[in-house]
């Protein structure tokens, strides 16, 4: 039941919602609601469970439903595809919220071949858009997140990344339609000009740029979003370079930075650690049946058995073949200068190579899920600090995080992804979700990493539901002025506090005080 709402009132609200969306699109039974859980949650059973789910079909139904949510002050949790696993999946920030499931709104409203963009609704997945493009004979690519069932809009709103040159999804987003908490519909940028044909072509318009405010936030419900799509290039050259030593990470990033900044390597290049890379092919239990991190001697055997390095660097070149040929000379000179580097332009029977090559040319797939076999039991949460792509900084961050993983009995399983000027470090903390002790250790490790990374000047770019408050508090310049601003906006735009309360640590006034006085923030795990 939503907090502070009695059963009779809730039933009345559900009746009104059913009259808007149809009874078949209001869910209260256990089975359909089970689809709205975090399948990989690090929390104890029974946390973050919804009270009901409502699935509108269009913007008008959203507007009408918002009237009901406001009237009864029902907290809702809005999502498109709900595949945000490792960060909470579709689950709500707190138990009792009503899931506002926008999956039915899955139309691809426009594909513009000339300017290279699509306009999509919240429920459109990468697979759906990819298949649509191929069906209509388009020469445009999608840039999928690693699991291709994710939502085009949802991933961009969460600042997610892909692996083609269009890999920074928020940067590639252009133009939004947003329903505010009071039902008012706003179009951003050129979309505010009646009859404009340029809503998805340019981000520039008169006045403030609001799009970012509706990402990783709870200020409105995005119902349409433009996304730029990369034209198929005349040439494509994927490659992998393996590096023998862990400390090579510093040299890798010092070599790759000028190549990235000068756009010689145009895509989101990634340095993948040994265990992440090999886990698509084998499992930990094939090598080590003990507790704690895998010993170095076994790591070396794994690397040797599978022809891998301690770091495995993937990138690709795109464009006319003469340009690729020219740029390749620069890449080879820089990246192969590190002692022990081995170049791979193809790898037979290697599923990790196959799926990376597909991702870098915009073909969605789900292969990355196979790395969940590494431990068995599938649980994982991603700790994702972000920084500049500096070699020394990358190595220092790696050493700190690896040591903490080992302290808590976990293997370090991670990758570093380089964007335009940034480096996303993704640590995948894997655990058997049926093992309560392991799950709690993963939770404790994550919490410690947040504080230690912040102490060293690193913030996370995205996080699991359970750590949103803790991470919000690490952004504490000038006594937390940034989150104060978020809260001031929240109170004005959503005075009843119905939209996704607690998303990214942004709470409405009423729940803000209560959450702090009850000490609920950062204390989700109950033994």
Partner 1 sequence: MAWDVSRRTVVSGGAVGAVVAGLGIGRSAFAQRPRKIIVIEETHVPESRLFAETFINSGRAAQVVRIDRSFNGLLHELEAVEGVLVGLTSDPAAMIAGQILVAGGARPLLQWTHQYRKLRWEHQTVGAPTLLARASVGWPSVLAHHMQDALVGDRQDAELRCQSGHCGLGGKSPGMLVSWAFEVGVQQS
Q: Which tokens belong to 127?
A: 């697979």
* Catalytic annotation, pick one of 36, 40, 87, 236: 87
Answer for which of 18, 57, 171, 213 binds partner 1 (CB under 8 A) is 18
CA distance 50 to 37: 8
Question: What three-state secondary structure class fits 499?
Answer: strand
With contacts defined by CB under 8 A, name the span among 32-40, 384-392, 410-418, 453-461 that binds partner 1: 32-40
Choose the catalytic residue: 284, 361, 462, 512: 462
Tokens (6 digits) for 107: 């139309």
Residues 339-368 that bind partner 1 (CB under 8 A): 351, 354-355, 364-367
Active site includes 126? no
User: Which residue from 11, 202, 337, 516 is in contact with partner 1, where contact means CB under 8 A?
Assistant: 11
Give the residue, chosen from 3, 4, 25, 35, that forms a contact with partner 1 under the rule CB under 8 A.
Answer: 35
Nearer to partner 1, 285 or 392 (CB): 285
421 to 460, contacts with partner 1 by CB under 8 A?
Answer: 433-434
In angstroms, rounded to a whole number, what is the distance separating the alpha carbons of residues 176 and 162? 20
Find the binding residues for partner 1 in span 102-121 (CB under 8 A). 103
Distance CA 231, CA 233 (A): 6
The reply to whether 400 sits near partner 1 by the rule CB under 8 A is: no
Residue 87 appears among annotated catalytic residues: yes
Three-state secondary structure call for residue 24: helix
| 3-state SS string for 139-172 | CEECCCCCECCCEHHHHHHCCCECCCCCCECCCC
Residue 524 sits in the site that holds partner 1 (CB under 8 A): no
Q: Are 280 and 240 in contact (CB under 8 A)?
A: no
Token pair 């429920």 is found at: 123
Does residue 409 belong to the site contacting partner 1 (CB under 8 A)? Answer: no
Segment 172 to 211, residues that bind partner 1, using CB under 8 A: none
Q: Which stretch binds partner 1 (CB under 8 A): 10-18, 177-185, 383-391, 466-474?
A: 10-18
Of 170 and 525, which CB lies nearer to partner 1 in the complex structure? 525
Residue-wise over 221-258: b if at least 16 C-beta within 10 A, else e?
bbbbbbbbbbeebeebbbbbbbbbebebbbbbbbbbbe
Beta-carbon contacts of 69 under 8 Å, excluding residues fewer than 6 positions away, are: 13, 76, 98, 496, 498
Closer residue to partner 1 (CB): 130 or 425: 130
Out of 3, 64, 70, 373, the only residue in the binding site for partner 1 (CB under 8 A) is: 373
User: Is residue 14 a contact point for partner 1 (CB under 8 A)?
Assistant: yes
Our answer to whether residue 462 is catalytic in this structure is yes
Interface residue with partner 1 among 115, 369, 475, 525 (CB under 8 A) is 369
Cα-based angle 115, 103, 522 (whole degrees, multiple of 5): 105
Q: Among 41, 188, 267, 496, indicate the residue that binds partner 1 (CB under 8 A).
A: 41
- Bridge partners of 271, per DSSP, are 313, 416
Residue 344 is given by DSSP the state E
* C-alpha–C-alpha distance, residues 246 and 311, integer Å: 7
Instruction: Kindly indicate which of the ranges 40-48, 153-161, 229-237, 477-485 contains the residues binding partner 1, using the contact rule CB under 8 A.
Output: 40-48
Which residue among 10, 236, 408, 467 contacts partner 1 (CB under 8 A)? 10
**Min separation Cβ 193 and partner 1, Å:** 38
User: Smallest gap, in angstroms, from Cβ of residue 316 to partner 1?
Assistant: 19
Per CB under 8 A, which region of 171-179, 284-292, 392-400, 511-519 contacts partner 1? 284-292
Strand blocks (E) in 371-522: 378-383, 385-387, 414-418, 423-432, 459-460
Q: Give the up-direction half-sphere exposure of residue 247: CA atoms within 13 A in the CB hemisphere.
A: 1
Residue listed under structure tokens 């996304």 = 227
DSSP, res 371: G
Rounded distance, CA 3 to CA 514, Å?
11
Binding to partner 1 by residue 286, rule CB under 8 A? yes
Q: Which residues bind partner 1 (CB under 8 A)?
A: 1, 7, 10-11, 14-15, 18, 23, 26, 28-35, 37-39, 41, 43-47, 49, 51-52, 103, 127, 148-149, 280, 282-283, 285-286, 289, 351, 354-355, 364-367, 369-370, 372-373, 376-378, 433-434
Residues with catalytic annotation? 87, 461-462
């Amino acid at each position: 039941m939503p907090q502070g709402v009695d059963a009779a009132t809730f039933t009345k609200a559900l009746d009104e919602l059913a009259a808007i969306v149809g009874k078949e699109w209001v869910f209260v039974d256990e089975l359909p609601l089970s689809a709205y859980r975090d399948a990989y949650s690090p929390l104890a059973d029974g946390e973050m469970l919804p009270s009901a789910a409502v699935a509108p079909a269009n913007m008008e139904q959203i507007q009408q439903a918002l009237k009901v949510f406001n009237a009864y002050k029902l907290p809702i949790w809005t999502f498109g595809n709900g595949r945000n696993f490792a960060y909470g999946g579709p689950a709500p920030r707190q138990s009792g919220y009503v899931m506002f499931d926008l999956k039915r709104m899955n139309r691809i409203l426009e594909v513009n071949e000339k300017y290279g963009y699509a306009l999509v609704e919240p429920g459109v997945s990468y697979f759906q858009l990819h298949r649509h493009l191929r069906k209509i004979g388009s020469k445009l690519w999608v840039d999928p997140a690693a699991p291709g069932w994710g939502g085009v809009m949802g991933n961009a709103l969460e600042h997610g990344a892909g692996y083609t040159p269009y890999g920074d999804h928020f940067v590639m987003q252009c133009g939004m339609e947003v329903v505010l908490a009071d039902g008012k519909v706003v179009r951003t940028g050129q979309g505010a000009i009646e009859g404009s044909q340029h809503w998805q072509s340019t981000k520039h318009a008169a006045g403030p740029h609001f799009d970012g405010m509706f990402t990783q936030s709870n200020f409105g419900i995005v119902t349409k979003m433009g996304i730029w799509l990369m034209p198929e290039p005349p040439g494509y050259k994927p490659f992998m370079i393996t590096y023998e030593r862990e400390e090579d990470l510093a040299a890798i990033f010092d070599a790759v930075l000028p190549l990235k900044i000068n756009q010689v390597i145009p895509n989101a290049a990634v340095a993948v650690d040994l265990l992440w890379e090999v886990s698509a092919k084998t499992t930990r239990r094939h090598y080590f049946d003990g507790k704690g991190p895998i010993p170095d001697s076994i790591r070396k055997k794994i690397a040797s058995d599978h022809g891998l390095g301690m770091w495995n660097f993937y990138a690709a070149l795109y464009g006319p073949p003469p340009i690729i040929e020219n740029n390749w000379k620069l890449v080879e000179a820089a990246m192969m200068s590190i002692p022990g580097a081995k170049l791979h332009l193809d790898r037979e029977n290697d599923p990790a190579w196959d799926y990376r090559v597909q991702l870098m040319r915009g073909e969605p797939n789900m292969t990355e899920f196979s790395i969940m076999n590494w431990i068995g039991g599938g649980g994982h949460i991603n700790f994702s600090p972000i920084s500049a792509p500096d070699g020394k900084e990358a190595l220092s961050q790696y050493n700190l995080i690896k040591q903490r993983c080992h302290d808590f009995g976990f293997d370090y399983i991670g990758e570093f992804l380089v964007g335009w000027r940034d480096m996303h470090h993704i640590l995948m903390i894997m655990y058997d979700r049926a093992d309560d002790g392991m799950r709690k250790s993963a939770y404790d490790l994550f919490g410690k990493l947040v504080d230690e990374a912040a102490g060293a000047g690193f913030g996370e770019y995205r996080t699991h539901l359970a750590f949103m408050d803790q991470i919000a508090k690490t952004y504490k310049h000038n006594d937390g002025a940034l989150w104060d601003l978020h809260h001031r906006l929240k109170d004005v735009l959503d005075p009843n506090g119905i939209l996704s309360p607690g998303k990214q640590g942004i709470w409405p006034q009423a729940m803000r005080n209560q959450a702090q006085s009850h000490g609920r923030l950062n204390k989700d795990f109950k033994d």
